[in-house]
Amino acid sequence: MSDTFESAPVAKSRFKTGFVVGFWIILIAVLVGAFMRAQSAKEIQAQAQNEIPWDEQLLSCNSVFDASPSDEFTSCLQMADEGWVNAAQRIAWAYSRDGEYQDWQATYDWLLWLSDNDDYAELLSYIVLFEIGESPEVKVNGERGIRQMAIINNPAATAYLASLYYLKEHQLPQKSNIAWLLERTYEQDKYWVMPEEIARIYAKGFLGEAKPERARSLLLDSIEIDFPLHANNVAWFLATTDYQALSDTKLAVELAEQVIADPEHSNNYMYVDTLAAAYAADGQYTQAVSTQEKAISLIKAAYETSENPSPEIADFEARLTLFQSQQPYIAETSFDDGQSFFQTFKLQIEQALIEGLYIEFSAPEIASPPPQ
């Protein structure tokens, strides 16, 4: 049976509602998690990009932001048709964009083509089948693919399968314990199940008895892993959580200051934003305001040459207003029920896989000719 979508217009509409609009409604408060997961995917893809030949025409893909007709889209599509993997990734991403030219069938077709070169694209192709398949057989094919990738230790697939089991969205019989799947993912790759997420699961008792001490221990143990990423994430969590058993404003300030003290990271707007939130949580509002003002100037500078402003700038400015009013920022991420947590967790993985396809192209120092 072909894994194509039956009744394509209906499938497209369903997917748009459940997989994109639903994401923005539920996930806006936890955008950082999806961003970090996407960064992990991009790092692996960037390594692959460094190993392929180069053609200047690839630069046309940098101007492709959706699948609307343009010279740049046509040029990038031509590169993809000629077998350039990174161009195909950008085209798959473009077809997934919300709007008039969104085409999930085209996205799926390109993901299927990319599957031999990109594990993330392969997983996303199965997720697309599972989410919008118009027949039970197609949906089961998608779930079977997700399960197979989990069996071979793909951490994103394992985490995603755990969310399907918790939400009872799976079609096939459950064969693995949810806690075991999450622990397995966490031990293998702390991008797809992050320390603050596994800590929240334990603290809230989503899978059984609440274990706040175990949660705190996991957070503290993760600080030295992949500095500064997890140090920053833990600082953010400790400063912005509404769960008092895990809040620690002093440690949040200490960690955030350590990150910013490194010259390599001192002007990263995400890290500066975390430091501002930590200052505010600790009642140091003068420092919070000046630090948040710096974060805003940095994020504006980062997007100065982009056609579109940062989608996060509004959040940065809203936090500045809070700090000026001497109020801390509390992220709505603690979730009192596991259903909300795992629905958001699942959507984060979906969005991160999609955003992982978005790659900016730059000419290598020594360009090699395209394949003959």
**Lowest-pLDDT choice from 24-33, 89-98, 244-253, 295-304:** 24-33
Q: What pLDDT score was predicted for residue 168? A: 97
Q: Give yes or no: residues 157 and 264 share one domain.
A: no
Confidence band of 55 (pLDDT split at 50, 70, 90): confident
Establish if 101 belongs to a structural domain.
yes
Establish if 92 belongs to a structural domain.
yes
- CB 305 within 8 Å of CB 262: no
Q: Give yes or no: residues 82 and 176 share one domain.
A: yes
Establish if 290 belongs to a structural domain.
yes
Establish if 370 belongs to a structural domain.
no
Q: What pLDDT score was predicted for residue 38? A: 54
Q: Give yes or no: residues 60 and 152 share one domain.
A: yes
Instruction: Give whichever of 35-39, 244-248, 350-354 has the largest mean pLDDT.
Output: 350-354
Establish if 372 belongs to a structural domain.
no
Domain that holds residue 309: 214-331
Q: Give yes or no: residues 37 and 174 share one domain.
A: yes
Q: What pLDDT score was predicted for residue 322? A: 97
Token pair, residue 94, equals 């473009």
Q: Give yes or no: residues 222 and 201 share one domain.
A: no
Longest dimension (CA), the chain: 63
* CATH code of the domain in which 223 resides: 1.25.40
Confidence band of 15 (pLDDT split at 50, 70, 90): very low
Strand spans (E) along the chain: none
Q: What pLDDT score was predicted for residue 70? A: 97
Alpha carbon 276 to its chain centroid, in Å, reads 23
Residue 370 has pLDDT above 80, yes or no: no
Establish if 298 belongs to a structural domain.
yes
Total domains in the chain come to 2
Confidence band of 369 (pLDDT split at 50, 70, 90): low
Establish if 368 belongs to a structural domain.
no
Q: Give yes or no: residues 68 and 171 share one domain.
A: yes
User: How large is the average pLDDT for residues 248-263?
Assistant: 95
Q: Give yes or no: residues 74 and 91 share one domain.
A: yes
- 281-296 pLDDT, tens digit per residue, is 999 999 999 999 999 9
Q: Give yes or no: residues 232 and 303 share one domain.
A: yes
Establish if 184 belongs to a structural domain.
yes
Q: Give yes or no: residues 231 and 310 share one domain.
A: yes
Q: What pLDDT score was predicted for residue 231? A: 92
- CB 223 within 8 Å of CB 200: no
- Residue 332: which region, alpha, beta or left (left: phi > 0; alpha: psi -120 to 50)? beta
Number of other CB atoms surrounding residue 45 within 10 Å: 20
Could you give the angle at the alpha carbon of 310 between the alpha carbons of 264 and 28, nearest 5°? 100
Long-range contacts of 249-252 (CB under 8 A, 24+ apart): 249/278, 249/281, 249/282, 249/283, 250/282, 252/277, 252/278, 252/281, 252/282
Which tops the pLDDT comparison, 49 or 169?
169
Alpha carbon 127 to its chain centroid, in Å, reads 15
Q: Give yes or no: residues 219 and 148 share one domain.
A: no
Phi and psi torsions of 330, nearest 5°? -110, 115
Q: Give yes or no: residues 350 and 325 share one domain.
A: no
Please report, rounded to a whole number, the percentage of residues in the chain having pLDDT higher than 90.
Answer: 64
Q: What pLDDT score was predicted for residue 311? A: 82
Q: Give yes or no: residues 187 and 283 share one domain.
A: no
- 125-161 pLDDT, tens digit per residue, is 999 999 999 899 999 999 999 999 999 999 999 999 9
